[in-house]
Chain A
Amino acid sequence: MNVTANDNNTMITVRNLSKTYSRKGVGEPALQNVSLAVKAGELFGLIGPDGAGKTTLFRILATLLLPGEGEATVCGLDVVTRWREIRARTGYMPGRFSLYQDLSVEENLAFFATVFSASIKENYELIRDIYVHLEPFKNRRAGKLSGGMKQKLALCCALIHRPDVLLLDEPTTGVDPVSRVEFWDMLGRLKQQGIAILVSTPYMDEASRCDRIALMRSGRCLATGTPARICQSYKRPLYSVRSSRMYPLLGHLRSWAGAHSCYAFGHSHHLALKDSATDIASLETYLKEKGYTDALIQPVEPGVEDCFMELGND
């Protein structure tokens, strides 16, 4: 991909980045030739499961880990040589909750403001929208907050020095679906302030909340682009199939001659066909023969999760 570091709108660039952790002399590549760029005001998602390399990439960008090969810049500054300046302009929320559990909500926020020579008062506008959820509990110890509330506090602490770049490593993991929606709503409002946001998630359904995404697996980028563009690149005909007997249906669909792959998707199964010439009427006949009298077959638009599984299959 083409990445121009000199574009003054580009806040994060990653070029052909690789990283190998040497463990007992055995090299396991955590990142392999990853490239991406994030602009000011852009919400960019790294979508992938554990072991995809997301945390390694964040730690390199947060100047906590040296790159192996390739290069990376944040705010146009090289992560190896200009780390001090980068740290002053970046808000980093690690995957593991890393605030002070024994300090209260308010004390944590004041601490992080002080470390960056800022004050809660001067930047309150930026966090107000999020902090109102926390204000009723401002005297509670951070360790006693629920998962969703902890993440909101961590976001406030990452924002309190008004950074140009936000690095959020799996902020919604282990957080319930309602709090997740709220969290993404907040990110949507933050990017309007011009902050470049790089955020990772293992939840495929959250990809649609991002402007652009990179699908990652085992240290590699499988695809990069807008969620819509990535979904358009899915080439196989895809059908949703359901009946009253869902679990046996999965096995029968997989053994059908026209099936490329079939996966459970909530209340229906998604069936990808081997080629577009396949007549779907033959599937109806096949299912009737197998005793499914109530099977409902409908074409369905592929989502990011369909794309991820198809790319991972290669």
Chain B
Amino acid sequence: MYVIETDKLTKRFGGFTAVDRISFRVESGEIFGFLGANGAGKTTAMRMLCGLSAPTSGKATVAGYDVYRKSEQIKKHIGYMSQKFSLYADLKVWENIRLFGGIYGLSPKQLARKTDELLHALHLDGERDTPVNALPLGWKQKLAFSVAIIHEPAIVFLDEPTGGVDPVTRRQFWELIYDASARGITVFVTTHYMDEAEYCHRVSIMVDGRIEALDKPPALKETYHAANMNEVFQSLARKATRGGV
């Protein structure tokens, strides 16, 4: 079963084509790396897939729901996390769980159970009443990720989740990603760390609004005669012509 399926998905702003006929499919439980230079169209594409922006043309379904007609259903069946915005720093740990769980539509009973489960799994039982801004960054990250999947979504979108994070925490975060994937949650992730591209099952690289390459990392390295994913990225992204966008 495909959790994301797009066919010539396109978004134009006036005369400018931000996303240009992208077609791809993501399987259930897959860790899908969504790479591209700044301005390549990643954010616009992600906003369409999250049901936040209507496409200009083309087709797409996310978790089985059509992006044109069922955007509200999509929002209920996905999780989202970014480094820039994930938790409310001034709220306590339990308040953040309560807030996001409520937004994702959990019942009070489910919320109570999930809160205990989540705090226990993260070894945060003693931090229930701690304001989030007092937690070390690594804990914050783990909490943010757990909250983003508290409603067991079909898919979680991670927008540069590890920016500015120290090397050890960054690696621990990827272990959470593997665990979620093993539980069947599809992970759609953007990153500027090219070593992290190696950890994805498949990687797509966008250039000037189009998907220029999409394959497993070893296959991409072979195709582009590259020693690592950074070289693959550099050789593709240098073809971009619309740098200033």
Contact B164 A50 (CB under 8 A): yes
Contact A174 B234 (CB under 8 A): no
How far is the CB of B137 from the nearest CB of chain A, in Å? 6
CB-CB contacts of B99-128 with A at 8 A, as 1s and 0s? 000000000000000000000000000000
Interface residues contributed by chain A, number (CB under 8 Å) = 39
A204-B167, A265-B195 known; A175-B234 Cβ under 8 A: no
Contact A179 B37 (CB under 8 A): yes
Contact B237 A146 (CB under 8 A): no
Chain A residues in 8 Å Cβ range of B228: 266-267
Chain A residues in 8 Å Cβ range of B171: 263-264
A136-B244, A177-B234, A178-B237 known; A266-B195 Cβ under 8 A: yes
Contact B237 A149 (CB under 8 A): no
Whether, in the assembled complex, A223 has its beta carbon less than 8 Å from a beta carbon of chain B, the answer is no
Residues of B contacting A: mostly: loop
User: Bound complex: CA of A145 vs CA of B243, how far in Å?
Assistant: 9
Write the chain B residue with the least CB distance to A264. Answer: B171
A146-B243, A179-B37 known; A264-B237 Cβ under 8 A: no
How far is the CB of B130 from the nearest CB of chain A, in Å? 13
Whether, in the assembled complex, B165 has its beta carbon less than 8 Å from a beta carbon of chain A, the answer is yes
How far is the CB of B195 from the nearest CB of chain A, in Å? 4
Contact B237 A49 (CB under 8 A): no
Give the interface centre of A133, A178, A308, A309 by most chain B CB atoms within 10 Å: A178
How far is the CB of B33 from the nearest CB of chain A, in Å? 12
Chain B residues in 8 Å Cβ range of A173: 163-164
Contact of A312 among B40, B168, B238, B243 (CB under 8 A): B168
How far is the CB of B17 from the nearest CB of chain A, in Å? 16
How far is the CB of B127 from the nearest CB of chain A, in Å? 16
CB-CB contacts of B160-174 with A at 8 A, as 1s and 0s? 100111111101001
Interface residues contributed by chain B, number (CB under 8 Å) = 35
CB-CB contacts of B4-42 with A at 8 A, as 1s and 0s? 000000000000000000000000000000001111100
Whether, in the assembled complex, B139 has its beta carbon less than 8 Å from a beta carbon of chain A, the answer is no
Whether, in the assembled complex, A227 has its beta carbon less than 8 Å from a beta carbon of chain B, the answer is no
Chain B residues in 8 Å Cβ range of A140: 244
Chain A residues in 8 Å Cβ range of B178: 247
Contact A148 B174 (CB under 8 A): no
CB within 8 Å of B: which A161-207 residues:
170, 173-181, 202-204
Contact B165 A50 (CB under 8 A): yes
How far is the CB of A49 from the nearest CB of chain B, in Å? 3
Whether, in the assembled complex, B79 has its beta carbon less than 8 Å from a beta carbon of chain A, the answer is no
Contact B238 A178 (CB under 8 A): yes
Write the chain A residue with the least CB distance to B239. Answer: A178
Pick the 3 closest A-B CB pairs, nearest first. Answer: A49-B166, A146-B39, A266-B195
Known: A149-B244, A177-B194, A266-B194. 11 other contacts (CB 8 A): A49-B165, A137-B244, A140-B244, A148-B38, A148-B243, A149-B243, A173-B164, A181-B234, A202-B163, A202-B166, A267-B217
Residues on A facing B (Cβ under 8 Å): 48-51, 133-134, 136-137, 140, 145-149, 170, 173-181, 202-204, 217, 246-247, 263-267, 305, 308-309, 312
